[in-house]
Amino acid sequence: MLNLRSNTLNRSEILSLYTKGYTIPQDYKIGLEYERLPINLDTLKAVDYWGEHGIAICLEQFARKNGWDYIVDENNIIGLAKGHDTITLEPGSQVEISTKPERTIFELKKKIDNINLSLEEILSEHGTILLSYGVSPLSTCKNIHLIPKRRYKIMANYLWGILSDVMMRETAGIQCCIDFKSEEDAMRKFKLANKLTPFMTAMFSNSPIRGGVDTGYKSFRALSWLNTDNDRCGFAGKISEEFSFDDYVDCVLKTPMIFIQRNGQPITINGDITFEEYLKEGYGGIMPSLSDYELQANLCFPEVRLRNFIEIRNHDCVGGDLKYSILAIYKGIFYDNNAMSEAEELLKHLQYKDYSQLRYDNPRYGLKTEIKNSTVLEYVKGIIEIAEKSLKNMQTGESLFIRPVKDYIAKGISPADEIIKKWNGSWNKNLKKMINYLTQ
């Protein structure tokens, strides 16, 4: 364990960020963060932040019509908020809806459908759609401007992976948030979530076409994360049998710092020190605060991120009710002790090196990725079966949200596989036909 020496911040304060998340099982909720790509229907290019038909104007009009508050950075609109619900912009103007977690998927779906209805009405007036897809289908990062958010400019200048600009400006994903009741429960879920991520990535792969061509990958979005910044991406820790809040904190502390904020202004650090060093010595006369640690933790991008809940981050954006299949699988497994045990049993013979290899092979091969004389597809069938049985036992009716992904897996394919087949078949590599398909 690291030895923290600081007059302004100690480990107990940091750990409290996680322990305050304890929730009794009767109050468990599930959350969704849902990113999509703004595309001009005429040109099929990514919609810019600026201009008379830009995303900024659309957000402004939506806020005025629906009574949402602006989120600004130096007077530039970078998002909207209403209560606990937000509509925010990712670096390349990708639109993310994040709602207050709810007890059931039905409640989340109702809220998201209502927001989408109002949002799409505004966007359609500007010839824009929000595409439920994992990577920009035509425009590439060289032609997609960063939104005017200071944090993103600093990140773009720092992140050193060869595809970090692709990740920031082109990709859209879905994140799921789940609760825990104790540190033991959190770590059990954290480790199992990490082990499930490569299988979930393959199951929901949905980004094979980028720049108007077949990339040869099922998930180009997942590939971009492999090539973003290995200091802060991938698995947090070794997902070993012994892992704790302290161990997770150590991972955050050992990561190079990008920047801190004082009086609303960013101070760039650009990896000169780790947070561990910052705790010991400060930086340029500035001593660490708890908000500095929170920022540092948010600037780490593991497949599964620990907060006062568990955030699972590794899915391509998918459309329709398929996105709720992601939530259904996690709710079915993580909110039932027997289901967790069955999932652990299913994966028990896989080692850390197997998961690491899966993470690297999945973007290209998806469900056909080979592992331990089997394939990812065979494991996925078991995962779906466990989740569906658990949801049926809960008797909430949410097992119906398993159906969309189950239909794909029954055919042995992911959304990407279907797109690739049509791209090389009836669509004849026509991007307009692909966009029409994705917007049905």
Q: Which amino acid does the sequence have at 403?
A: R
- Write down the pLDDT at residue 8: 73
| Burial zone of 233 (CB within 10 Å; 0-12 exposed, 13-18 middle, 19+ buried) | buried
Rounded to 10 degrees, what is the CA torsion of 282, 283, 288, 291? -160
- Write down the pLDDT at residue 7: 53
- Write down the pLDDT at residue 249: 97
Output the CA torsion sign for 39, 434, 42, 219.
positive
| The pLDDT of residue 398 is above 90 | yes
Q: Encode pLDDT of 3-12 as tens digits.
A: 444 457 999 9
Distance CA 369, CA 350 (A): 14
Mean pLDDT (whole number) for 274-294: 96
Pairing of strands 85-89, 95-98: antiparallel
Residue percentage of the chain with pLDDT more than 90: 95
- Pick the closest to residue 200 from 36, 429, 415 (CA basis): 415
Domain range summary for the chain, segments of one domain joined by +: 26-239+308-438
Q: Encode pLDDT of 122-139 as tens digits.
A: 999 999 999 999 999 999
Mean pLDDT (whole number) for 141-168: 97
- For the entire predicted model, the pTM comes to 0.96
Distance CA 205, CA 409 (A): 12
Task: Tell me what the pLDDT averaged over the chain comes to.
Answer: 96
pLDDT band at 238 (very low <50, low <70, confident <90, very high): confident
Q: Which two tokens stand for residue 414?
A: 């992911």
Q: Which amino acid does the sequence have at 30?
A: I
The CATH number assigned to the domain with range 26-239+308-438 reads 3.30.590.20
Mean pLDDT (whole number) for 230-244: 85
| The pLDDT of residue 301 is above 60 | yes
Q: For helices 105-124 and 322-334, what crossing angle results, to 10°?
A: 160
- Write down the pLDDT at residue 351: 93
- Helices and strands (H and E) in the chain: how many: 17, 17
Mean pLDDT (whole number) for 408-423: 98
Q: Which amino acid does the sequence have at 67?
A: G
| The pLDDT of residue 2 is above 90 | no
pLDDT band at 335 (very low <50, low <70, confident <90, very high): very high
Distance CA 65, CA 46 (A): 25
Distance CA 221, CA 203 (A): 14
Q: Encode pLDDT of 52-66 as tens digits.
A: 999 999 999 999 999
| The pLDDT of residue 1 is above 60 | no
- Write down the pLDDT at residue 204: 98
Q: Encode pLDDT of 55-99 as tens digits.
A: 999 999 999 999 999 999 999 999 999 999 999 999 999 999 999
